[in-house]
């Protein structure tokens, strides 16, 4: 009986562990090396939906990609990073104008963290009453921070007209944001601001430019499955066909 009790206790621990993780407002997982995925949650069409962002720990400090969707988690994320890595966040990028990416821009700017978006994102944020960044990128840009280098790339309209992706050449990590959906996704999600005719072309440009990523980070689905970009291209192709009929 002891063995059975042990297994039962273990199962109980595992289950409650999952339950707790699910109700947490903020979770942080290591992607690889100095790359971490943080997740916050919000309500969308009656469901509790995760939004994944990423941060990178460099010798200079921490670089954050996108801000928490849950507005109560702006400071807890900074605190968690400081506690875990004993470093400050020194840069923050948002990959398109929707609130699941930009909500914390103003807050972080007030904390003295330089915040960045493209000019196009800033224009759409202004029009739609969203939070805006302090610094604007006018073109695709390569950043060298500490020992790391990454490229900001605008492939064209898709999920929104302004969505950008981030590529880490050495590590072959593609941070796709909301442009790329999960490998298990059955549709392309919210399309209210999407470019349906260009979506497939835009995704194919990303695939061609970065052909062999080791990791593809997506915003609202499982980011451990590398087939997310392939699946998104298939979904975008189907959507385009449907709209042409």
Judged against a pLDDT cut of 90, whether residue 16 lies above it is answered with: no
CB crowding 82-121: b at 16 or more within 10 Å, else e:
eeeeeeebbbbbbbbbbbbbbbbbbbbbeeebebbbbebb
Percentage with pLDDT > 70 across the chain = 90
Assess contact for 24 and 40: CB atoms under 8 A: no
- Over residues 153-165, the pLDDT tens digits come to 999 999 999 999 9
- Over residues 87-112, the pLDDT tens digits come to 999 999 999 999 999 999 999 999 99
pLDDT of residue 117: 97
- Over residues 167-220, the pLDDT tens digits come to 999 999 999 999 999 999 999 989 999 999 999 999 999 999 999 999 999 988
Among 103, 137, 111, 106, which Cα is nearest to 123's? 137
For the chain, list the domains and their CATH numbers.
28-244 (3.60.15.10)
Band of pLDDT at residue 245, cut at 50, 70 and 90: low
Percentage with pLDDT > 90 across the chain = 80
**C-beta atoms surrounding 7 within 10 Å:** 10
């Amino acid at each position: 009986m002891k063995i059975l009790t042990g297994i039962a206790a273990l199962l109980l621990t595992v289950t409650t562990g999952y339950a707790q993780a699910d109700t947490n407002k903020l979770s942080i997982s290591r992607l690889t090396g100095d790359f971490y995925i943080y997740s916050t949650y919000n309500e969308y069409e009656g469901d509790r939906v995760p939004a994944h962002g990423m941060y990178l720990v460099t010798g200079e400090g921490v670089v954050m990609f996108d801000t928490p969707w849950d507005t109560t988690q702006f400071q807890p994320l900074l605190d968690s990073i400081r506690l875990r890595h004993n470093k400050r966040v020194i840069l923050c990028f948002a990959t398109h104008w929707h609130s699941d990416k930009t909500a914390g821009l103003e807050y972080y700017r007030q904390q003295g963290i330089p915040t960045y978006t493209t000019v196009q994102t800033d224009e759409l944020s202004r029009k739609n009453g969203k939070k805006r960044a302090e610094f604007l990128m006018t073109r695709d840009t390569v950043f060298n921070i500490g020992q790391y280098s990454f490229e900001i790339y605008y492939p064209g309209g898709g999920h929104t007209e302004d969505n950008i992706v981030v590529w880490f050449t050495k590590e072959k990590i593609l941070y796709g944001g909301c442009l790329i959906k999960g490998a298990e996704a059955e549709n392309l999600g919210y399309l209210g601001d999407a470019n349906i005719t260009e979506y497939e072309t835009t995704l194919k440009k990303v695939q061609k430019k970065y052909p062999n990523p080791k990791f593809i980070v997506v915003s609202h689905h499982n980011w451990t499955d590398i087939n997310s970009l392939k699946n998104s291209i298939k979904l975008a192709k189907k959507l385009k066909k449907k709209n042409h009929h």
